[in-house]
Structure 1
């Protein structure tokens, strides 16, 4: 595990001046680092959240969000490692693990248009433009992931995901998430877009360039994003990321106040 840099100071207002008397129970969430090979190596898909959002407004993040209770629907056609395999990696019940994987697929499709699913267990859709109405219905919560995939005759491809990390929002914050990080490769023929009301812009960028933008003040990064980008920057190509051994541990940073500055440290 990397140490967080000394100059990782949170922007004003991210953490309230007074912490809740009783820590808020974290909500399960999933986020996906979409990867592709660029001319200079690994590139990752990043979105800058809209300013003023209740959580991480203005921050550069990966696609993702909270688990919908309907994500645990056992009727979803599934290909790849079973829920029990994911449960071992993320140290949670199989029902939770299944919902996390489904949330990762759903949120990635909602926020980037990339769909990790296919007409069979060994195929993946190459063009998602025909699923635009289904995407809109998912965003509006008019349909569940199970309903969308069932109506379109699609199989969720859990084998296209890899577990990467598990970060929990510090106890000092009023909105907390127990977020599992996944990596996935952009499927051939698909494209990631910025069509989401939650993002002000979206871009493919190498991890090292994204970190340089952070150091120069052009991006704001939450501590988990900063650490994960540092990890990804060490790989020469996407194939190296996919075969890298990972031991996922639950990380709960602490908030430390230094005068007017708020820093995040690892326990």
Structure 2
């Protein structure tokens, strides 16, 4: 329910997913108190052009993740994400300015986490041997084994890259938005979302034995059916079937899908300049129904591209 269009602020009430209702009830019953600490996290939305506009890779995430049952690839920042990595693209100072985060080590951790999680969950690797190269997926089975070892923490992502002489292609990422989980949540994330395209000679593939569902979805079609259970029924999991979009994903994902649907192609979506102020949904209850109130500035996206000089 967007409103306040003339004030430059969009206000939307998003119905709470069923698995979050117990935490909301607890918050109201016992009164507001100090929120639980939020874990740092990163997520990457892959985009491509399709017959019906911009498509993105959505996946099903088992359990009651704060990122939503249906989300983009991503996860929590790990200790190894703060290590020194061979690096191509904008340097940390430039990334720090772009994200408006003074702690450059934290900036690096979020970027490394984004690339690592994307590789673990989809097999897409934003890395190369030099500034203009991107590694090719020549042996899918070898990559799958490496992904399983990295996900199981039997192999450090840093070591995997070093063995192959690879550096991170951070220039292939664009920051999209920054979200902090609402205060009432039992599990809270401070998440940076990025976007990228799939490099040539790579294709996404679910992590063996862990992946349940992932598909390229038309953002336009998902938005057109957002008030129905079409996507949840297509996924067909107990926690998605019969539920509307807002009940199976997070406001962050839904907002990004909305903006993809309005973009004139994947390149246009990638090149938009964005307001990256943190968005922090608030909990409301009306007539016994719980909602998340999301406030965001209107007109914050334009077609002005982000340009940064490469550096190490």
SS at 1:256's partner residue? strand
1:191 to 182, 203, 223: 203
Q: Contact conserved, 1:254 with 1:264, CA < 8 A, in 2? A: yes
Indicate the larger mover: 177-186 or 112-121.
112-121
Alignment pair present for 1:32 and 2:44: yes
2:98 maps to which residue?
89
1:175 CA displacement: 0.8
Alignment pair present for 1:247 and 2:275: yes
2:212 to 200, 203, 211: 200
1:180-219 CA-to-partner distances (Å, cap 9, x unmatched) read: 0101011111111222666431000111222234321233
1:104 maps to which residue?
114
SS at 2:107's partner residue? helix
- Alpha-carbon distance between aligned partners in 2 of 1:193 and 1:5, rounded to the nearest angstrom: 34
- Alpha-carbon distance between aligned partners in 2 of 1:2 and 1:198, rounded to the nearest angstrom: 40
1:78 maps to which residue?
87
1:145 CA displacement: 1.8
Q: Trace 1:107-146 onto structure 2 (pairs within 5 A).
A: 107-127=117-137, 129=140, 130-146=142-158
Larger Rg: 2
Alignment pair present for 1:161 and 2:173: yes
Q: Contact conserved, 1:44 with 1:205, CA < 8 A, in 2? A: yes
Indicate the larger mover: 232-241 or 162-171.
232-241
1:91 CA displacement: 2.7
- Alpha-carbon distance between aligned partners in 1 of 2:97 and 2:291, rounded to the nearest angstrom: 32
CA RMSD of aligned residues (A): 2.0
TM norm structure 1: 0.91
Q: Trace 1:34-73 onto structure 2 (pairs within 5 A).
A: 34-50=46-62, 53-56=63-66, 59-73=69-83
- Alpha-carbon distance between aligned partners in 2 of 1:142 and 1:2, rounded to the nearest angstrom: 47
- Alpha-carbon distance between aligned partners in 2 of 1:122 and 1:56, rounded to the nearest angstrom: 36
1:89 CA displacement: 2.5
- Alpha-carbon distance between aligned partners in 2 of 1:215 and 1:199, rounded to the nearest angstrom: 26
TM norm structure 2: 0.79
Distance change in 2, residues 1:54/1:216 (3 Å)? closer
Query: 5+ unaligned residues in a row in structure 2: which ranges?
Result: 1-7, 233-247, 296-312
Q: Contact conserved, 2:89 with 2:170, CA < 8 A, in 1? A: yes
1:140-195 CA-to-partner distances (Å, cap 9, x unmatched) read: 01122211111122111000000110010001112111100101011111111222
